[in-house]
Structure 1
Amino acid sequence: MKMENLEQQIAKQEERLKQLKAQKQAVIAREKKKQSEQQRKDDTRRKILLGSYLLKKMENETNKEKILADLNEYLTEDRDRKLFNL
């Protein structure tokens, strides 16, 4: 084989390696995005379930007063406080 052919083959293989590395990075990025989205969905679900639990607990007047007192201390934004008439 000529030296020229070997150089061309090396160049082709280097280009192929570059493409494969780019594909690998794309796969890694997709997996990270997928994982991040799942974490966000899980966090949202936890918040919904906790909210549902607290609303159920607030059906009892004693619990309601305690929860609202805790919220009164916790909430600082006016728009959030308005939701609970605080």
Structure 2
Amino acid sequence: MCWGVHSTDQYDLGMEYTGYAEPGGYDRVVFRGDVAGREFIAFWLAGGKVLAGMNVNVWDVTDPIRELVRSGRPVDAERLADPAVPLGEL
């Protein structure tokens, strides 16, 4: 298992991946933000718990994503997808 924060820049995209979602080890992906505009966060969930998150051209969210992953708490997927809900409140 490779757990941590990994970042990369690919042309005009900056991405940071936090946590670890094993292929086939998650049951849902939740998107928050503007996927078409390439500014979003993707979350991989299993049983309502966040396994990993990847922010794409969205900055200063690594710490709250890390907290969601480490907490192991179930989250409301609708609230997780809503950019109006601060990540720290989940």
Tell me: higher relative CO, structure 1 or 2? Use CA pairs within 8 A at least 6 residues apart. Answer: 2
Shorter-normalised TM-score: what interval?
under 0.3
TM-score for both structures, normalised by structure 2: 0.20
- The structure having more radius of gyration, on CA atoms, is 1
Q: Which has the higher helix share?
A: 1
